[in-house]
Amino acid sequence: MTIFIAIYITVIGLLFGSFFNVVGLRVPVGESVVHPPSRCGSCGTRLGAKDMIPVLSYMFSRGTCRHCGVGFSPVYPLFEAVTGLLFLWMYLRFGLTGAAVLGIVLASLCVIVTVADLKYMRIPNKVLLFFAPILIALRFAFMDAAWWHYVLGGIFGGGLILLVVLLSKGGMGMGDVKLFALCGLILGIGPAILAFMLACAFGTVVGVMLIVFKIVQRKQPVPFGPWLALGTLIAYLYGTQIIGGYLSLIG
């Protein structure tokens, strides 16, 4: 039974991942997520059902439009696959529990935010406002620590990024502040600190690599939202174990 549930959840994740691509690419520029229907960006041909099977359509068409032969961005199958794997990961980590449901919703937010921030360097308020009440309700329905633990996490997350914004004079945006305030509220104070440290580590390493390989210029701005999202997901999944392991080493 477990394998069938795992397959089902993965398929659901792949389907939602396809939709999350649309949300992340359209909402930041004020477009509807349902109109117009998905079309080839080159020839304008409306994509049919067999063109939109998550991951598989891209593989079978070799990443090109069946009508004009122009290539599609690999971003689409990448985030479809990532979403499917994240849904599966949450199930395998937590089973059929409230923590898994919360994790799946949190992963959904992180995927959409990552798509939007990589494309436009913007984290849409509409996306945050949609997810915030759902995540907060789930968090306080399935608490595994005192309520103030999560409140402090939200204050830490939003306050720390706001401080960075003020000190860097625009080096980061208010979208990052709101995103990490929400993530901190879901994680709690300890995991929120870990998430920020992980985000900084990942962002620094990748940023240096991008500069070394001359993909970006030294002072060129790069989005930080994806790293906050990645740090948040790792902290949500394994924060307790990571923090416990660290404390045991220094204790």
- Please write the tens of the pLDDT for every residue from 144-195: 889 999 999 999 999 999 998 888 776 688 999 999 999 999 999 999 999 9
CA dihedral 2, 54, 25, 177 (to 10 degrees): 20
Q: Name the token pair of 62.
A: 């070799």
pLDDT at 107: 98
User: Phi and psi (nearest 5°) for 201?
Assistant: -65, -50
Q: What is the Cα–Cα distance from 210 to 173, expressed in whole angstroms?
A: 21
pLDDT of residue 62: 74
> Average pLDDT, whole number, for the chain?
90
**Residue 42's pLDDT band (cuts 50, 70, 90):** low
Please write the tens of the pLDDT for every residue from 106-128: 999 999 999 999 999 999 999 99
More confident residue, 231 or 76: 231
Query: Where is average pLDDT lowest: 28-42, 92-106, 226-240?
Result: 28-42
3-class DSSP state of 38: coil
Q: How far is CA 151 from the centre of its chain?
A: 22
**Which is higher by pLDDT, 211 or 121?**
121
DSSP for residue 28 = G
Structure confidence by residue, pLDDT tens digits, 47-65 = 667 767 888 878 887 777 7
Q: Give the Cα separation of 236 and 31 in Å (integer).
A: 32
Lowest mean pLDDT, pick from 32-46, 78-92, 212-226, 227-241: 32-46
Question: By three-state DSSP, how is residue 95 classified?
Answer: coil
**What's this model's pTM, rounded to 2 decimal places?**
0.94
Mean pLDDT, range 27-41, rounded to an integer:
82
Structural element, H or E, at residue 141 = helix 125-141
pLDDT for 69: 67
d(CA 90, CA 117): 23
Burial of 52 (C-beta count, 10 Å sphere; 0-12/13-18/19+): middle
Top pLDDT among 85 and 68 is at 85
Residue 46, helix vs strand vs coil: strand
| pLDDT higher than 70, residue 67 | no
State mean pLDDT over 20-43.
84
CA distance 238 to 251: 20
The arithmetic mean of pLDDT across residues 5-15, rounded, is: 96
Q: What local confidence, expressed as pLDDT, does residue 213 receive?
A: 83
Q: What are phi and psi of 62, to 5 degrees?
A: 55, 35
Q: 25, 119 in Cβ contact below 8 A? A: yes
Could you tell me which of 99, 60, 57 has the C-alpha nearest to residue 80? 57
Sequence-ordered list of residues with C-beta below 8 angstroms from that of 45, at least 6 positions apart, any chain:
39, 65, 67, 68
Distance between CA 71 and CA 42 in Å, rounded? 9
Reported confidence tier of residue 216, pLDDT bands at 50, 70, 90: confident
Percent of the chain topping pLDDT 70: 93
